[in-house]
Amino acid sequence: MEKERLKRLLKEIDGKGYKSYKKIEGVYNFGEYILFIDHVQPDPFAPPSKLRIRIPQEIAGFPYSLFSNESREIALRDFLTRKFYSAIKKISKGKRGSGKSGIISIDKPGQEILERTSVIVKREFVEVRFSVGLPAFGRKISSKNAQEIFFKEIPEIVKESLFFKNLNKAELTKHIEVTEDADFLREKLPQLNLVAFVADGSILPRKSGIEDKPLKEGKVIPFKSPEELKIEIELPNNGKISGMGIREGVTLIVGGGFHGKSTLLEALQFGIYNHIPGDGREFVVTSPWCVKIRAEDGRRVEKVDISPFIKDLPFGKKTEEFSTEDASGSTSQASNIIEALEAGAKLLLIDEDTSATNFMIRDRRMQRLVSKEKEPITPFIDKVRQLYRDYGVSTILVMGGSGDYFDVADCVICMVDYLPYDVTKKAKEICLIDKAQREKEGGESFGKITERIPLPESIDARKGKKEVKISPKGLYSIVFGKTTIDLSCVEQLVDVSQTKAIGDAIFYLKKYIDGKRTLREVVEMVMDDIERYGLDILSKFPVGDYASFRKFELIAAINRLRTLKVIQKR
């Protein structure tokens, strides 16, 4: 239909009840682009209406070189989403009327560059997906305001943000090249036997605990690698850069309080993502197989074999199939590690501040007072080297309180005034002079990692009269049927659009659960589908508010589903 048809429809329904807006669903040709009105909200207070705009490439004009590989395509899509968001802020008049009337919105990116469904770029077209609160006063349609949105504001927003000729070419190029270089760096890590890299000049501190932008006020100290750990890498676009390489094995980050230990670990935690130019962490990259581990009192655990860490519980309770509705600090941390290993993690990040003390260390005095026969926990210090030796899993650990870890570390980095120093040699000298008195309690090997098989009846998204109820409630919570999944300790999530996609992915993956496939196999089948067909496979119709996620966060969400039932693979 031509756009004039939309204008006539809007005039015809002016002043009528809100449900008359349903008549405008459809496809309209605006000349330079096609408008899809996919879903009209039933009420001005309901979630806003879903729209798409598709622009032929001969009009949008984006050269293929800007999206010729996956890195470049994701960066371009991210850039266009940001530009569309900025154009809304500049051009739209915002709320006009009841509820969400008049509000134009699009998925808002943060500091990370994620694959999103908000913008799709193909050789043939560019497509943007966004929402509009169709305007009304009370529940009466305001045709005048609707026409202003469709025929004035949206065309201006599209022209400013989605036409290549109107964009800042240097800014766009930098956005793409930084992303491509970061991906190159991350892919290079295994060849260099590294698990992480932090570029010289990086700005690691954030503005505040709730503000993820780089700290700029006060004394901000750029990162500088110790000479002993410095490496140089030639990037495809930005040339040669230098920085600190963290090698495979066991790495300790030590130092006094408030000197930057946790700040460095947090930067590594989010080094699984690419960051926008100016973020300060553009070239801080971490292995994509990295999982942040912490204690998580109160979480549910379902038949996890935590016997490598905990066994011989009182009253004969077995830990080979450990289940609880209310895990302690030590049992939750053990479960989190085993679940990460079960999912295929190759690097663990641990901060003593968020760990269970009795899980991390048992010193000699305590060993003398409480014999091993009376202590079911084998502390992490006695398993961390076995984990690397037996399974090739590295660990980066912030440790400010126990020098016993010097004995098991391959590298010790000391943070002083937010700058790193390689103190490995000194730490090893201390070990020779002041020998640890504690006895090793880890046995000869790490132990087995037992995979689990999910049962289909335990994943149920039904809720009362609603056949399916799945909804993110902020970044760290998903309503899934009659239960709520608590993700507050899944610390590598960064965007609520990831949370939304994960909720729908749990529902989607049920098709692969057959009582024979392991949890890892099921999740990897879902990830393969997403890789092949895109995030759109998770929804019955195109949506603009999905963001990419890793299998580790999806598995973590499933493990925290309180209805989950599994059997162990034998």
Neighbours of 408 (CB within 10 A): 23
Tokens of 181: 């270089």
pLDDT score at 463:
81
Is it the case that residue 287 has pLDDT exceeding 80? Answer: yes
Handedness of CA 268, 270, 272, 273 (dihedral sign): negative
pLDDT score at 219:
82
Is it the case that residue 8 has pLDDT exceeding 80? Answer: yes
Mean pLDDT for 162-190 is: 98
**Beta strands 104-105 and 112-113, pairing class:** unpaired
pLDDT score at 211:
84
Tokens of 342: 């079960």
How do residues 96-108 score in pLDDT, each as one tens digit? 999 999 999 999 9
Q: If you write DSSP's letter for every residue of 485-534 in order, what string do you get?
A: EE-TT-TT---HHHHHHHHHHHHHHGGG--SSS-HHHHHHHHHHHHHHH-
Q: Which neighbouring-strand residues pair with 253?
A: 398, 413
pLDDT score at 222:
96
Cα 342 from chain centroid (whole Å)? 19
Which among 39, 115, 176, 122 is positioned nearest to 497, based on CA atoms? 115
Is it the case that residue 464 has pLDDT exceeding 80? Answer: no
**Residue pair 250/388 in contact by the 8 Å Cβ criterion:** yes
pLDDT score at 67:
98
CA distance 10 to 281: 48
- For residue 310, the number of C-alpha atoms closer than 13 Å in the C-beta half-sphere is 27
Ordered by where they begin, the domains of the chain are 3-167 (no CATH), 209-450 (3.40.50), 452-568 (no CATH)
What is the length of the chain? 570
Higher-confidence position of 460 and 178? 178
Tokens of 24: 């405008």
- For residue 365, the number of C-alpha atoms closer than 13 Å in the C-beta half-sphere is 0
CA distance 550 to 557: 11
Mean pLDDT for 500-510 is: 97
Is it the case that residue 22 has pLDDT exceeding 80? Answer: yes
Arithmetic mean of pLDDT over the chain = 95
Q: Which of 297-306, 365-374, 459-468 is predicted most confidently?
A: 297-306
pLDDT score at 151:
97
Rg (CA), the chain: 26
Give the H or E element holding residue 131.
strand 125-132
Is it the case that residue 316 has pLDDT exceeding 80? Answer: no
Is it the case that residue 317 has pLDDT exceeding 90? Answer: no
CB-based contacts of 389, cutoff 8 Å, min separation 6: 446
pLDDT score at 209:
80
Could you identify the residue written with the tokens 């449900």? 19
pLDDT score at 519:
98
What dihedral do alpha carbons 417, 422, 428, 430 form, nearest 10°? Answer: -30
pLDDT score at 136:
95
Q: Which neighbouring-strand residues pair with 28?
A: 35
pLDDT score at 4:
93
pLDDT score at 334:
98
**Residue pair 92/104 in contact by the 8 Å Cβ criterion:** yes
**444 band by pLDDT with thresholds 50, 70 and 90:** very high
Which among 547, 498, 500, 558 is positioned nearest to 524, based on CA atoms? 558
Helices and strands (DSSP H and E) totals, the chain: 15, 29
pLDDT score at 471:
94
CA distance 29 to 33: 6
How do residues 533-553 score in pLDDT, each as one tens digit? 999 999 988 999 999 999 999
CA distance 559 to 478: 13
Neighbours of 94 (CB within 10 A): 11
pLDDT score at 348:
98
